[in-house]
Amino acid sequence: MKLNLSTKQSSKLAITPQLQNAIKLLQFTAVEINQEIQNIFESNPLIEKEDICEELQEDSCVDHYSHYDKDYTFTEKNTISTSEVIEKTSSEEDTLKSYLYWQINLLNISNSDKSLAETIIDYINDDGYLVKDIFEIFDDIYKNTDKTLDELIAVQHLLQNLDPIGTCTKNIQESLLVQIQNGKYDPKLLNKASTIINEFFEELTNNKIKTIQENLKISQDDMAKVQIIIKEQNARPGSVILNKHNYDYIIPDIKISKKNDEWIIRNNKIVSPEIKVNKNYVNMSEKNMSEEDKIFIKNSLQEAKLFIKNINYRNDTLLRLAKCIFKKQIEFFSYGIEKLVPMNLKEIAVLMDVHESTISRLSNGKYMETPYGVFELKFFFSSSIQNIDGSDFSSKSIKEKIKNIINSENKKNPYSDNKIKDILFKENIKLARRTVAKYRESLNFESSSKRKTK
């Protein structure tokens, strides 16, 4: 069976530049969004930033925080532990591979398909491209097994449509095609762009635009639009993950704290300070203005209003996600990491009435400050392991239990993986020894023989 690229006419909604901008801001990290606000503040005189009271304690800045009309408050009878923060910042080192592993473990697919997905992911480089052809991967791993090439290719297509879109492809041409076909563009332009990449990619890369136009009978106007669509795609889709985590510091987008018996969830205004339109410019008389100035004010006002709308949309959406996470993980906020419960993308997507990929993008690179430290939002999503009594444990809560067991052991006689397995079994957690070893290694603990001290 050969893997062929093909085009397909489908009915899709055209995406407006305004919506494109909103989606872009939604995916920005705290550092990126803060820089974006600073950029527009410097370039658009109609944008005005509020004082964010950086040097004051929140309790001394009540008036400043009065604009949190959409904060969510919850009452909980149990008080939270006042022990020291477990970890100042808890976030696994993020790579493209680990990010894809995380997503497939949260998808509702069979263990067999997950295994195929992990194999494919092992063969990608930092840019997101396969270092071996999918047919060679099949011959290397599955040729004499019950797995079929069709199954492997089907899983590859699934991976190509995860975030970031266009990874696990064989080259730039295939990646661009996948990215474009996932875009919400005008169907006619999308079809033309797909055809050009599929059939005239060499001419496109050599800038032989007239040759393409003559062969496909595309007008100059449509060709220009198609070129814009193609240029909007990422030639190195995997680099998105590496770039987002190339910071030496972390700024939380969301803060969750408990005051008296109330939980308070709010956006971090240091990340996204309150911005508004400068009324002094809006109320200026146009009588003594030149036409050029009038146009400038009009365009700046339009840009300012749209930017404020999109920033508010980003902040409100993140706040909604934080609320959903809080409700699902209330035990964590009360007692710590060991009380994390399994949570997948789909159940939160249903609650928020959005697609699973939207939750994935929202969770990546965004951080939440909690009483137990600062955590990336995707930290709260984890696969489940069934308990002996039929209930489910979060894989991350089990890792935390293993971590605590090892930290409390007698260093002269450390626990073996088998002993840790027995200790967990007493808590109704049934794991294979090799699973314990896998979790131990992921926590950067050596084997018992190497942990032993004299």
Q: pLDDT by residue (tens digit) across 242-285?
A: 655 544 467 889 999 988 889 999 998 887 778 888 877 767 76
**Domain closes at, from 341, 361, 378:** 378
**Domain closes at, from 186, 218, 240:** 240
Reported confidence tier of residue 53, pLDDT bands at 50, 70, 90 = low
* pLDDT tops 50 at residue 401: yes
d(CA 325, CA 375): 12
Q: Give the C-alpha distances (Å, rounded to integers) separating 393 from 343, 359, 383, 398, 428.
A: 10, 22, 8, 7, 10
Query: What's the total number of domains in the chain?
Result: 3
* pLDDT tops 90 at residue 390: no
* pLDDT tops 50 at residue 442: yes
Please tell me the predicted confidence (pLDDT) of residue 99. 86
Q: Is 147 part of any domain?
A: yes
Q: Counting beta carbons within 10 angstroms of the beta carbon of residue 296, is it exposed (0 to 12), middle (13 to 18) or buried (19 or more)?
A: middle
When pLDDT is averaged across residues 41-65 and rounded to a whole number, the result is: 60
Beta-carbon contacts of 290 under 8 Å, excluding residues fewer than 6 positions away, are none
d(CA 124, CA 376): 24
Structural domain that includes position 445? 383-451
Choice between 66 and 274, residue whose per-residue pLDDT is larger: 274
Beta-carbon contacts of 220 under 8 Å, excluding residues fewer than 6 positions away, are 213
* pLDDT tops 60 at residue 72: no
d(CA 193, CA 177): 8
CATH of the domain at 402: 1.10.10.60
Q: Is 429 part of any domain?
A: yes
Reported confidence tier of residue 8, pLDDT bands at 50, 70, 90 = very low
Q: Is 87 part of any domain?
A: no
Q: Are residues 108 and 229 in the same domain?
A: yes
pLDDT in tens, 131-184: 888 988 888 788 888 989 999 999 999 999 998 899 999 999 999 999 998 887
* pLDDT tops 70 at residue 205: yes
* pLDDT tops 60 at residue 342: yes
Q: Is 45 part of any domain?
A: no
* pLDDT tops 70 at residue 371: yes
Please tell me the predicted confidence (pLDDT) of residue 364. 81
Q: Is 56 part of any domain?
A: no
Q: At what angle do helices 209-216 and 220-231 cross, to 10 degrees?
A: 120
Q: Are residues 355 and 369 in the same domain?
A: yes
Please tell me the predicted confidence (pLDDT) of residue 287. 65
Q: Is 57 part of any domain?
A: no
Q: Are residues 331 and 345 in the same domain?
A: yes
* pLDDT tops 50 at residue 9: no
* pLDDT tops 60 at residue 87: no
Reported confidence tier of residue 61, pLDDT bands at 50, 70, 90 = very low
- Half-sphere exposure for 229 (CA within 13 Å, toward CB): 31
pLDDT in tens, 234-243: 888 988 776 5
Please tell me the predicted confidence (pLDDT) of residue 83. 29
Please tell me the predicted confidence (pLDDT) of residue 186. 85
Q: Give the amino acid at 371.
A: P
pLDDT in tens, 27-37: 788 888 888 88
Q: Are residues 173 and 191 in the same domain?
A: yes
Choice between 249 and 74, residue whose per-residue pLDDT is larger: 249
Q: Are residues 139 and 218 in the same domain?
A: yes
Q: Are residues 106 and 228 in the same domain?
A: yes
> Residue 10 corresponds to which tokens in the numbers above?
């489908």
Q: Are residues 103 and 179 in the same domain?
A: yes
Choice between 66 and 349, residue whose per-residue pLDDT is larger: 349
Express as a percent the part of the chain with pLDDT over 70. 80
Q: Are residues 360 and 405 in the same domain?
A: no
Give which of 386, 300, 291, 398 is closest to 340, Cα–Cα. Answer: 398
When pLDDT is averaged across residues 417-441 and rounded to a whole number, the result is: 84
Task: Give the least confident one: 88-97, 330-339, 400-409, 424-433.
Answer: 88-97
* pLDDT tops 80 at residue 309: yes
**Domain closes at, from 378, 403, 422:** 378
Please tell me the predicted confidence (pLDDT) of residue 399. 84
Please tell me the predicted confidence (pLDDT) of residue 169. 94
Span between the terminal Cα atoms of the chain, in Å: 60
Q: Are residues 116 and 234 in the same domain?
A: yes
Q: Are residues 329 and 201 in the same domain?
A: no
128: left (phi over 0), alpha (psi -120 to 50) or beta: left
Q: Are residues 230 and 148 in the same domain?
A: yes
When pLDDT is averaged across residues 396-424 and rounded to a whole number, the result is: 86
Q: Is 267 part of any domain?
A: yes
Q: Is 288 part of any domain?
A: no
Q: Are residues 365 and 254 in the same domain?
A: yes
